[in-house]
Copies of this chain bind each other. A is one copy, B any other.
Amino acid sequence: MVKSLAGVNLYLWCNESPLSVMLNSSLCGECQDSIVAPSALKKKERSKLSAGDWEQQALVLIAEQGIRAVAVESLARRMGVTKGSFYWHFPNRDALIEQSLLRWEKHDATNLKTSLGAISDPRERLRSFFIRTSREKLTHDVYSSLCMASDHPKVEPLLERVAERRMSQIEAAFAEIGFDSAEASHRARLTYSAYLGFLQLQRQHQAPNLSSEEFEGYMAHVIATLIPEK
């Protein structure tokens, strides 16, 4: 019954609970690098769950089936426990949603900084923004799922903040390249729209596979069209 708990957990977030560390049995399909080292813990120890464990598993569920699928009983089954456990850690379902989203947002914000802030060349920074799609699968899937729930009261302001953060990063890069203020703003919006639209096409199974040749060609075209040469 623990088998459904994906080892995906750890490749994105640090864990407090030894349980989720134990569950990191490397069944993650797309990624190989795990932030937290496998750290051989005594198995079968089956320690108690923490609030963080619930939040992470909720995010996995959001990535897989959307925020609507985050039902406490269903989630509890996934965790191998019952509702009783959940309502000890959280007052209600909304609190879980809120904490999970906050956790994701925090990760995404720092991730944006560390992955793009280090690149000095603005053109290369823009390119790596697109490429970043292929990695960080869980984070990405969560965002894609959240885009489908923009009517949710907790999700909408989150999407607003995230898009704002990312677009201003992109806008700054375009400004560095040489665009004036208005142009940089417009192109940043266009660039981010192209990204969001690609996510939508992905959900409709109409986007080329990330590791396909067609995708490479498309990405080259996008970069050539949106990022002017020196």
- Chain A residues at the B interface, C-beta cutoff of 8 Å: 65-66, 147-151, 156, 159-160, 163-164, 182-183, 186-187, 189-190, 192-201, 203-206, 217-218, 221-222, 225-226
Which residues on the B side are within 8 Å of A193 (C-beta)?
Answer: 193-198, 200-201
Contacts A218-B186, A221-B183; A203 near B66 (Cβ below 8 A): no
Q: How many copies does the complex hold?
A: 2
Contact check, A201 vs B190: say whether CB atoms are below 8 A apart.
Answer: no
User: Which 4 pairs, one residue from A and one from B, show the smallest C-beta to C-beta distance?
Assistant: A193-B197, A196-B197, A186-B221, A197-B197
Taking CB as reference atom, which chain B residue is nearest A182?
A: B217
Which residues on the B side are within 8 Å of A198 (C-beta)?
Answer: 193, 197
Instruction: Name 27 A/B residue pairs within 8 A (Cβ), A-sorted.
Output: A66-B151, A147-B200, A148-B148, A148-B149, A148-B150, A151-B203, A160-B204, A160-B205, A163-B204, A163-B206, A186-B222, A187-B221, A187-B225, A189-B201, A189-B218, A190-B221, A193-B194, A193-B195, A193-B196, A193-B197, A193-B198, A193-B200, A196-B196, A197-B198, A197-B200, A199-B200, A200-B200
